[in-house]
Amino acid sequence: MDRVSSFDEPLKKLLGGATAKVMAEHLDLHTVGDLLHHYPRRYEERGKLTALADLPLDEHVTVVAQVADARILMFNNGRGKRLEVTLTDGSGRLQLVFFGHGVHKPHKELLPGRQAMFAGKVSVFNRKMQLAHPTYQLLDASDADEATEAVDAFAGRLLPIYPACKQLDSWRIAKAVDAVLPSAQDAVDPLPASLREGRGFTPLPEALLKVHRPQTKADIEDARARLKWDEAFVLQVALARRRYADTQLPAAARRPVADGLLDAFDAKLPFTLTEGQEKVSKEIFDDLATEHPMHRLLQGEVGSGKTMVALRAMLTVVDAGGQAAMLAPTEVLAQQHHRSITEMMGELAEGGVLGGSDRGTKVVLLTGSMGMAARRQALLDLVTGEAGIVIGTHALIEDKVQFHDLGLVVVDEQHRFGVEQRDALRSKGKQPPHLLVMTATPIPRTVAMTVFGDLETSVLDQLPAGRSPIASHVVPAKDKPHFLSRAWERVREEVGNGHQAYVVCPRIGDDAEEAEGKGGKKAKAKKAAPEEDGDKRPPLAVLEIADELRKGALAGLSVEVLHGRMHPDDKDDVMRRFAAGDVDVLVATTVIEVGVNVPNATAMVIMDADRFGVSQLHQLRGRVGRGSAPGLCLLVSEAHEASPARARLSAVAATLDGFELSRIDLEQRREGDVLGQAQSGVRSSLRMLTVIDDEEVIAAAREEAVAVVAADPELEHLPELRTVLAALLDKDREEYLDKG
């Protein structure tokens, strides 16, 4: 068998069809290589008991514990039988329950004092944690041959506990790993020899043996250090090659022109740019002046002035004879950007119009819901070059849209855009246009290096002068209902002082199953975790809450609604009236999450705040305190005090630092989620590396990867690295990185 093919061997050849089928369907493991890279989640020491106190609800767990007592109970007038077993580990207790004919074997085997491994899904019954019908394996039955075998099979003293599923327990996975472990000798080592020796890494076959069957804790450390490096390095090489390929593409250099549109715009600004805005603008102008396409990620806190920086870049491109397109995820946001950009530019946005500036250009809006005549005119202005700037939604990507000379694409809130869409817009230039991606979701440096590793990153972390602080408080509606009454009083006080307020709800209403997802799309309402919501009520809805407020707590005030199912004209009308101050309170879904800018809005009440993610709450909160008056954000929740949901809300209330919150968010969701979303559903290749904890590994791997690719872009002298890259970059993932 040659070196590569033993890793490509289908599992069914070695494990039999039934096991291989479960592994493929439930764990996404198909080949010997997949299984060898399915690493233990943790290790149990023989005799050391797991903390039963920390069991996560609704997850499939494996625990090692001791039987404290076991009893058979009758129910249904003696017709039904139930075996209840209590486990203990010194930290807590856990109940097991078996029913019907399933009670006989465990009743004979699970005697007090016995120790075993148990696997099952954790649920709550009568306020007690329990596993119903768990599978188990005895560890201390000295007289039973199979128990002795079990102990021997689990490699001495450290028991590997594998990520498992209901259909396949950790110890069955361990047995399957035993069957494929000899193939570890055939592992293709991706690290260049000089790098491996320079950093003193364990050889790869040895690392795989040590991670699956460690003799000591030092073995585990060795193996993890090596395997983390491989993951970080291979991914960073893929990204470095992508960046290198981008530098080989041609693009038109767009250099600033003296006394052009940009200078005229800067001269009429009523304020000075922050240091951060100056610095980031310089980075962008330097990129635009080169003859290969800029690929830059601009991340800035809510209100840090990203739009201003992007607009100055767009004006530079127009000065240099090109056109700039800004892509927004929703119509509300596209209209908002169009409004604020034309206001900022004034007569400079009326090129060719009577009363407009002779240095000006046309700024057009293009969205799916525009009338035919307006749309035809906008398309004409683009193809003739009359319009230097276009702002729009996905409608900009349609085949019909042709540009005179597209020089720059600005994508707002990138994580809401499919990579295919970004690519389609880029293909509209005569040469690839420059690309600026903006996000107000702060991204920790390591995630930026991993998820957006093909983009150079600029960060705006100063707030412009005149922005006010936002006070945030959690309102425990269940424990202290009078706090909620006080929240509505505070809204009335703000309106009484001439200000306005938002009330945000997770769902639109009318239909209990529908909630509004990101970007105004309909999605299933997120079910609350059982421990957090005993009555399982659906999330609160815009239409219902608005109705209640009009009749009750906010009677007499002007209360309007805004959500994704409204006609675009109606949405725009409500937003205009709110911006003009004609509406006191806007009850909305997350459609207001990004970009909505009403400086007079000072208060926000977020209903069922525990149903939103940390970053989303931070985004929403950024809609208030945008003027000179201080902002107030009230996070209303029925989650009980000790729940993880409340801890999350307290973290949001405690800091306005988005980078700190994004760290907390990432620690809670772990990185699979972050990478999974960003890779449009492509399976994450990170199994050992944790993006949040391994910053040093990722940064060092990036440096090494850049050096390797600079010296040998095609990796001609590193065939092993090429082989491993080819395996990592299956078609989907290669496309993901391609579209960046």
> Which residues are registered as beta bridge partners of 304?
none
**Of 642, 614, 639, whose CA–CA distance to 533 is shortest?**
639
Spatial separation of the C-alpha atoms in residues 337 and 363, rounded to whole Å: 11
Encoded tokens for 51: 């903390």
Spatial separation of the C-alpha atoms in residues 415 and 159, rounded to whole Å: 40
| pLDDT of the residue at 594 | 59
| pLDDT of the residue at 498 | 94
Non-local (6+) Cβ contacts of 331 within 8 A are 367, 368, 369, 393, 568, 571, 572
**Of 265, 374, 369, 363, whose CA–CA distance to 323 is shortest?**
363
Amino acid letter at 497? N
Going by the DSSP 8-state scheme, the letter that residue 440 receives in this structure is S
Amino acid letter at 528? A
Contact 436/284 with Cβ under 8 angstroms? yes
| pLDDT of the residue at 384 | 93
C-alpha 480, offset from chain centre: 33
| pLDDT of the residue at 545 | 92
Non-local (6+) Cβ contacts of 464 within 8 A are 271, 274, 277, 303, 304, 305
Spatial separation of the C-alpha atoms in residues 36 and 208, rounded to whole Å: 7
| Strand stretches in 293-428, DSSP E | 295-300, 323-327, 362-366, 387-392, 406-412
| pLDDT of the residue at 310 | 95
Relative orientation angle of helices 17-27 and 170-180, to the nearest 10 degrees: 110
Contact 434/408 with Cβ under 8 angstroms? yes
Map residue 44 onto helix, strand or coil. strand
Encoded tokens for 525: 């309402």
Compute mean pLDDT per 10 residues along the chain, 740 residues long, and list them.
Answer: 62 86 88 90 65 73 85 83 88 86 86 85 83 81 52 56 83 89 88 90 93 91 92 89 84 91 91 89 95 88 82 96 90 86 88 67 90 92 93 83 92 65 74 87 72 79 72 88 91 95 89 45 39 58 91 93 86 89 92 75 93 85 84 91 83 82 67 38 55 80 92 90 76 47
| pLDDT of the residue at 668 | 62
| pLDDT of the residue at 168 | 83
| pLDDT of the residue at 358 | 72
Helix (H) or strand (E) run with residue 99 in it: strand 93-99
> Which residues are registered as beta bridge partners of 168?
165
**Model pLDDT for residues 469-521, shown as the tens digit of each residue:** 789 999 998 888 888 999 999 999 999 999 999 999 988 887 644 444 444 44
Spatial separation of the C-alpha atoms in residues 221 and 216, rounded to whole Å: 9
Contact 367/334 with Cβ under 8 angstroms? yes
Contact 366/396 with Cβ under 8 angstroms? yes
**Of 575, 641, 604, whose CA–CA distance to 505 is shortest?**
604
Spatial separation of the C-alpha atoms in residues 502 and 560, rounded to whole Å: 10
Mean pLDDT of the chain: 81
| pLDDT of the residue at 355 | 58
Map residue 442 onto helix, strand or coil. coil
Encoded tokens for 471: 């006070």
Helices (H), 249-297: 261-267, 275-288
Rounded to whole angstroms, the maximal C-alpha distance in the chain is 98
